[in-house]
């Protein structure tokens, strides 16, 4: 096993949710060591959060710019940085590190605005470093298997795609003390999209990842059900895919009883698949005319791509953190390859293109909704 | 127990599916006796089918007109008739019996065309007899309970409605020998709608029945995936309800792995409900902020309306036939009341209005699809 | 269709549970007409119950003896009688009708005591009429399919049988007003067995029916958890089958959250099966080394025996009443054959042998429990 | 965050299963660094495995004795060691490290024989270091919650416990190349118990952990279904608990369709609980007389003890590795406390007593089986 990759983090201080997830994901397979951070825009919180994580105080920076500069000149400086700030603070730090040759692992959606996304895309194009976007749900073993099954024709020609992502945590107006709810419903920080940006992009990305098709047109009916809410909290969307599939995407943050209900169903002329994120070790497959199968992780028929991101035998459930770690571990391999002057295998790693697709999806939803759910090409 | 109601049947000969269902439903609670029929348009088949059912040969008629005439003049003539023919043959027989004061229990959708529907509606308005439409799924106990729960505010203000009805039996081009598939995919007999007429109307009806809201506008994207198919076999539809709810309706007959997947989910600002037809004795209910409950037929919290259509203790599953029988048994009560000169309780019995709503739904779907899924009021 | 079989009923008056079930089951396929009854040992209740069922008052009898005598001499007398009284009142009426050549359809367990059972068995052996025991759970389509699959070797050599039947309705001491609870916990009426007699016999019967093996030895640990209860309300039982299988049987009426949880799991050296009564249209099958299949009623791989007792297409759930009706409908066929002087096909119809097996099971459980769960041969 | 605890490992070389699990569990919360190992009894494999894990070659030892000696004298020596060898190799290394004051984290069952277990227990009693046994299933959040619910009386007096652990991977005779199957079915290495030792001890431990009761007597019927197998591969066991509960334990490694089916059901006079290891984020709870609830990790009603071992929000599934990591993270806290001269909180950490209980359980099962499933006190 090679030496661990030195990792920095922007954002992810105390009370953050996704920062902790990234840290576990980075640690789980032993590929990264977190050694530096600009963990908060509040200096005291940045310091305290760093101390709580056991970081060297000298490497707890007040801001990402300072961090990028300092780390890029240290001999033991970070080789990669995780960016886990609210969406409006993705592009600037990402560009700061990329231009110094430090690999970037960035949370999604890509940015808060399309302008930021395009600027970032330009920076990625010029950079000597990798840009990886944590569309973590693509890395569940059974999703990899589903993708394989579609690709090799188990479902035949794909006709229908039903994808949804439903939550209930924003059913009521957020308390002012809930930092997660605050920034995610603030268009300045989250971007113009609410539910469509936060979770709709995951659903969109997953459907495309598994089917291998892109959305060529969509018609979106967006709602903000909670009084005073400034972004959408529910979206009903018709989809037309470039490979001929038709479908719907529902995302909601106001659906009581739904915790993190990302669910994908795909139907072709030879079979159907169904998967739900809350029970990720299962994949339902029905070859048309035959009995439904409950495929399991590491079970009969597991594909190489599924086994490659699987750690435990069937029946020993892997979950969200393992899926997230799969992104980090693949990122580590890509980073090691790149740093060794080899061509990294990015075929299953979401990057700037997936990020741009997500931003185009958000933009199309908003444009469509503004014209009464007319068809818009992303 | 009063004497059984003498029942006739139009359609439902050998090889028919829904005729047999109507017969069991009529028999299950002992309220009807089938005594006459025009079971097939083929005389020999009509005769044989009647014999197989033990009907008096004298009351096995060659056509519904002859039957209506003969039965209406017999002292022991039928008091009600079940019409279970393909859709294009609903209106004419229904009108023939209604005008002779014979109650009609008719399969859905109402008719094949809006013209037929309006003619029938006019006939119903003038008739001395009742017209009942077998939207059987509304009669499941847990659906009655769901309706009660919405009505009394357990879910608060309804925001989101997700309803779907997915099957897979038309995934491939129908064999020429499959009578069911033949007429249901023939626009002459089935009507302009395929999946939307056959099963979409059930989904539409159920969503409206439970929420108490009507669809005020819809945007429908219809597909005919199977080459050569002359009607839609899949539909993705955006819904806007008159009470403020927004939602989607998916119906499909080309979704491998789906047998008869009618599924309804409703979310309000205080709670959420979920129900699936294939497991009809369960109703999932989540009061916002509390744990999800698995409500069961005759279980804790069962409402009077649910218990009224329930025959067995909890855990002794009732199914499709019992639900269908609930329509027949309520029809019997209504018929007895009407025949006794009392006002029948039709509050939970689908009739001509539900039928017209269904036809308007089909028409709106087709118009919307013709204009690229633009919004159309049903 | 032949004329309906004229049916009488002993027991099943107002407030009874199982009498109503038998009536629906008899009616569902149109094979029987209920025309006479000794519905209650209380004359007034017998009369009222008969009136509520629309019976001719002249055929509402005060007791079964009078009924057997009268009906056996009427030209239009009953051809069959359903016995739905508490267990201690099964043998006497059954014998009264059998000796007059009237076919008997009797609820289970066979009797309250082994003496009664043996007397009844002797009467059956001498009778010119059929004796059918309503072990209704054997008549679910997926149970028929499971039996076929075991018989044809899909599971290989059966090794392990896990069967259970759990309810919760006797978790607390029964209210004095609950007639069901009263007689079922009264050893005078129910027999020495409580849960083992009421539901344990179903579990035992089902395991034997599906595996084709008999219990050759058992070790039973019985409990009466509710203070003052005079019969067992929970039983944990080790099983050894004559075909080499080993297993366990758990039955309980004090398991909160269990409604009517009859569940069977069978494992052989080539595969495993799982079925639950509350979701009876499903059968899980795993061929060893392959993916688990969700077999459905009328779905892929349905056997002839399953389809023979199935009325609706897959996805249109059939339930408890349909399963019960399957016994009645098969009984009708057997009765018609017998009355026509043919040999009835009783291969799948539970009768006196199944009844005696159940009584031996109860006796063995009690003997085993009395000797501290030592092994006892039934 | 304090410095990571330096960890060594005995066993866990290439091809081992549980060693890799321990390593991830140790790493997941960032509490340990693996720095030394005696990873295999084969020197070359030990060296290669160490290299693959990035260990300093100087700290890849040929055997545990050498490792214990060397590490205990290094200033940067390990503070804890994970023992992940086959069962017969637990006691000796554990004692070697304990007597040198190095904390031991040991896989279960405790040892292969009772003699070894008692020797180890004596060593633990005298040691200055902690001994922790990885009964990992006790550390799932919903199991912690279940234990809390039982303890605070949500279920009332516990009456019935049904626990099972079913797998299918030993359905056929193991290939000679399968190292896992080889040692686990070899009584010299595994101990006299097969399935009862490998997985029955988990089921037994879990039932006791959640109910707070101990098994005071058991009657075990053991089988070795696979020809030539020298240990049990299926066990049916009656249980009597010291708090009055009665129950059954089934464990099997020959149950096709069962991957890792550890399942616990507990019923008291006020409610019932159900949990399954393969879907560990759910806990079913029915208060008697009320609707069943689906409790979820971090959902409504989550207890402090459950939240304390939970990392992600509800709906973001945690699995086997997180549960295993909970043992390691609690071990880390205990080790830090002990090393700081404080009293470690061992209340929820399985240790030598749990290990002895498991060994007594195995012994009792074997003794009972030898006397035809008579009752034996563990």
What's the pLDDT score for residue A1? 63
Are residues C58 and C114 both part of a single domain?
Answer: yes
Contact between A155 and A272 under an 8 Å Cβ cutoff? The reply is: yes
Task: Tell me if chain A has a CB within 8 Å of the CB of C300.
Answer: yes
Using CB atoms within 10 Å of the CB of residue D343, give its burial: 0 to 12 exposed, 13 to 18 middle, 19+ buried.
exposed
DSSP D88-120: GGSHHHHHHHHTTT-EEEE-SSS-SSHHHHHHH
Q: How does pLDDT run across A10-34, given as a tens digit for each residue?
A: 999 987 889 999 999 999 999 999 9
Beta strands in A119-196 (DSSP E): 131-133, 158-166
Chains that touch C (3 or more CB pairs under 8 A): A, B, D
Q: Which of A219, A238, A272 sits opposite B256 (nearest CB)?
A: A272
Task: Tell me if chain D has a CB within 8 Å of the CB of B295.
Answer: yes
Task: Tell me if chain B has a CB within 8 Å of the CB of C23.
Answer: yes
What's the pLDDT score for residue A266? 98
Task: Tell me if chain D has a CB within 8 Å of the CB of C217.
Answer: no
Nearest to C218 by CA among C30, C368, C14, C45: C368
Residue C38 sits in a domain whose CATH number is 3.40.50.720
Contacts of D106 (CB under 8 A, 6+ apart): D82, D83, D90, D94, D131, D132, D133, D134, D355
Q: How does pLDDT run across A163-217, given as a tens digit for each residue?
A: 999 999 999 997 667 888 888 888 888 888 999 999 999 999 999 999 999 999 9
Are residues A273 and A157 both part of a single domain?
Answer: yes
Q: For residue A124, tell me if it sits in a domain.
A: yes
Are residues C238 and C309 both part of a single domain?
Answer: yes
Mean pLDDT of C29-34: 96
Q: For residue D116, tell me if it sits in a domain.
A: yes
Q: For residue A272, tell me if it sits in a domain.
A: yes
Q: How far is A160 from chain C (nearest CA, A)?
A: 20
- pLDDT surpasses 90 at C169: yes
What's the pLDDT score for residue C307? 97
Are residues C100 and C178 both part of a single domain?
Answer: no
- pLDDT surpasses 90 at C184: no
C277 contacts on B by Cβ (under 8 Å): 315, 317
Q: How does pLDDT run across B160-206, given as a tens digit for each residue?
A: 999 999 999 999 997 667 888 888 888 888 888 999 999 999 999 99
Number of domains in chain D: 2
Tokens standing for residue C15:
């407030």
- pLDDT surpasses 90 at D188: no
Task: Tell me if chain D has a CB within 8 Å of the CB of B299.
Answer: yes
Are residues B203 and B270 both part of a single domain?
Answer: yes
What's the pLDDT score for residue D1? 63
Q: How far is C272 from chain B (nearest CA, A)?
A: 22
Nearest to B46 by CA among B60, B29, B28: B60
Of B109, B129, B149, which closes a domain? B129
Task: Tell me if chain A has a CB within 8 Å of the CB of D280.
Answer: yes
C255 contacts on D by Cβ (under 8 Å): 160, 265, 267, 272
Provide the 3-class DSSP secondary structure of residue B82: strand
Place B1 in a pLDDT band, splitting at 50, 70 and 90.
low
Mean pLDDT, rounded, of chain B: 96
In 10 A of CB B329, how many CB atoms? Answer: 22
| Inter-chain CB proximity D294 and B290 less than 8 Å | no
Q: Over the Cα atoms of chain B, what is R_g?
A: 20
Q: How does pLDDT run across A32-77, given as a tens digit for each residue?
A: 999 999 999 888 899 999 999 999 999 999 999 999 999 999 999 9
What's the pLDDT score for residue D222? 98
Q: For residue C333, tell me if it sits in a domain.
A: no
Of C176 and C48, the structure prediction assigns the larger pLDDT to C48
Are residues D151 and D270 both part of a single domain?
Answer: yes
CA distance A188 to B228: 51
Task: Tell me if chain C has a CB within 8 Å of the CB of B340.
Answer: no
User: Which residue of D257, D276, D368, D371 is the best one to mutate when testing the C interface, meaning the one whose CB has the most C CBs within 10 A?
Assistant: D257
What's the pLDDT score for residue C182? 85
What's the pLDDT score for residue C175? 65
C255 contacts on B by Cβ (under 8 Å): none
Beta-carbon-side half-sphere exposure of residue A169 (alpha carbons within 13 Å)? 22
Mean pLDDT of C4-9: 98
Tokens standing for residue A85:
């700030």
User: Which residue of B142, B272, B292, B302 is the best one to mutate when testing the D interface, meaning the one whose CB has the most D CBs within 10 A?
Assistant: B292
Q: How far is D367 from chain A (nearest CA, A)?
A: 31
Burial B4-40 (b: 16+ CB within 10 A, else e): bbbbbbbbbbbebebbbbbbbbbbbbbbbebbbbbbb
Mean pLDDT, rounded, of chain D: 96
Place D176 in a pLDDT band, splitting at 50, 70 and 90.
low
Q: How does pLDDT run across C56-74, given as a tens digit for each residue?
A: 999 999 999 999 999 999 9
What's the pLDDT score for residue A17? 86
C294 contacts on A by Cβ (under 8 Å): 291-294
Task: Tell me if chain D has a CB within 8 Å of the CB of A326.
Answer: no
Chains that touch A (3 or more CB pairs under 8 A): B, C, D
Q: Which residues 74-113 in chain B show a CB within 8 A of chain C? A: none
Are residues A198 and A277 both part of a single domain?
Answer: yes
Contacts of B184 (CB under 8 A, 6+ apart): B86, B170, B190, B194, B198
Are residues B26 and B110 both part of a single domain?
Answer: yes
Task: Tell me if chain C has a CB within 8 Å of the CB of A301.
Answer: yes
CA distance A140 to A322: 8
Q: How far is A92 from chain D (nearest CA, A)?
A: 28
C296 contacts on B by Cβ (under 8 Å): 259
CA distance D92 to C251: 45
Are residues C147 and C246 both part of a single domain?
Answer: yes
| Cα torsion angle, B307, B310, B312, B318, sign | negative
Q: What whole-number percentage of chain B has pLDDT above 90?
A: 92
D306 contacts on B by Cβ (under 8 Å): none
Cα B78 to the chain's mean position, in Å?
Answer: 23
Size of interface C-D (CB pairs under 8 A): 128
C-chain residue closest to A294, CA distance = C292
Tokens standing for residue B69:
């005439």
- pLDDT surpasses 90 at C369: yes
What's the pLDDT score for residue C153? 98
Mean pLDDT of B342-346: 96
pTM, rounded to two decimals:
0.97
Mean pLDDT of D198-223: 98
| Helical spans, DSSP H, in B89-129 | 91-98, 114-126
Are residues B22 and B49 both part of a single domain?
Answer: yes
Q: How does pLDDT run across A280-335, given as a tens digit for each residue?
A: 999 999 999 999 999 999 999 999 999 999 999 999 999 999 999 999 999 999 99
Q: How far is A207 from chain B (nearest CA, A)?
A: 16
Of B129, B148, B169, which closes a domain? B129
Q: For residue B79, tell me if it sits in a domain.
A: yes
Are residues D147 and D21 both part of a single domain?
Answer: no
Q: What whole-number percentage of chain D has pLDDT above 90?
A: 92
Task: Tell me if chain C has a CB within 8 Å of the CB of B70.
Answer: no
What's the pLDDT score for residue B293? 98
> Could you list the residue range(s) of the whole structural domain that residue D115 is in?
5-129
Q: How does pLDDT run across D46-80, given as a tens digit for each residue?
A: 999 999 999 999 999 999 999 999 999 999 999 99
- pLDDT surpasses 90 at D266: yes
Mean pLDDT of B43-55: 92
CA distance C146 to C155: 10
- The ipTM is 0.96
Q: For residue A135, tell me if it sits in a domain.
A: no
Q: How far is A137 from chain C (nearest CA, A)?
A: 24
User: Which residue of C316, C318, C323, C325 is the best one to mutate when testing the B interface, meaning the one whose CB has the most B CBs within 10 A?
Assistant: C316
| Inter-chain CB proximity B292 and D291 less than 8 Å | no
Q: How far is B270 from chain D (nearest CA, A)?
A: 15
Nearest to D17 by CA among A72, A315, B227: A315
What's the pLDDT score for residue D190? 84
Of C129, C153, C187, which closes a domain? C129
What's the pLDDT score for residue A180? 81
Are residues B157 and B293 both part of a single domain?
Answer: yes
Burial B232-271 (b: 16+ CB within 10 A, else e): bbbbbbbbbbeeebbbbbbbbbbbbbbbbbbbbbbbbbbb
Residue D299 sits in a domain whose CATH number is 3.30.360.10
Q: For residue D330, tell me if it sits in a domain.
A: no
Q: What whole-number percentage of chain D has pLDDT above 70?
A: 99
Q: For residue C278, tell me if it sits in a domain.
A: yes
Q: How does pLDDT run across B232-242, given as a tens digit for each residue?
A: 999 999 999 99
């Amino acid at each position: 096993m090679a030496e661990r990759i030195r990792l920095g983090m922007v954002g992810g201080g105390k009370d953050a949710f996704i920062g902790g997830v990234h840290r576990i994901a980075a640690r789980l397979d032993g590929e990264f060591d977190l050694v530096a951070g600009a963990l908060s825009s509040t200096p005291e919180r940045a310091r305290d959060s760093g101390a709580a994580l056991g970081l060297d105080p000298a490497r707890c920076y007040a801001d990402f710019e300072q961090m990028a500069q300092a780390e890029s000149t240290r001999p033991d400086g970070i080789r990669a940085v995780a960016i886990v700030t609210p969406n409006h603070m993705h592009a600037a730090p990402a560009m700061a590190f990329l231009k110094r040759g430090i690999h970037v692992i960035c949370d999604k959606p890509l940015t808060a605005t399309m302008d930021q996304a395009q600027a970032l895309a330009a920076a990625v194009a010029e950079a000597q470093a990798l840009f990886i976007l944590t569309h973590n749900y693509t890395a569940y073993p059974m999703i990899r298997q589903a993708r394989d099954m579609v690709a090799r024709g188990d479902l035949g020609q794909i006709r229908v795609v039903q994808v949804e992502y439903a939550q209930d945590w924003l059913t009521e107006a957020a308390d002012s003390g809930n930092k997660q709810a605050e920034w995610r419903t603030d268009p300045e920080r989250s971007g113009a999209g609410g539910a469509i940006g936060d979770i709709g992009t995951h659903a969109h990305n997953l459907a495309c990842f598994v089917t291998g098709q892109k959305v060529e047109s969509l018609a979106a009916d967006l709602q903000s059900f909670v009084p005073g809410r400034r972004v959408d909290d529910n979206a009903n969307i018709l989809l037309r895919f470039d490979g001929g599939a038709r479908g719907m995407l529902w995302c909601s943050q106001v659906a009581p009883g739904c915790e993190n209900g990302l669910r994908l169903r795909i139907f072709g002329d030879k079979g159907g698949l169904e998967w739900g994120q809350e029970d990720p070790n299962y994949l339902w497959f029905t070859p048309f005319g035959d009995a439904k199968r409950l495929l399991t992780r590491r079970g009969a028929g597991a594909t190489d791509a599924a086994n490659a991101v699987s750690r435990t035998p069937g029946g020993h459930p892997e979950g969200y953190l393992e899926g997230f770690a799969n992104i980090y571990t693949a990122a580590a391999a890509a980073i090691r390859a790149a740093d060794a002057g080899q061509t990294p295998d990015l075929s299953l790693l979401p990057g700037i293109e997936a990020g741009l697709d997500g931003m185009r999806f958000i933009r199309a939803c908003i444009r469509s909704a503004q014209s009464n759910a007319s068809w818009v090409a992303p």
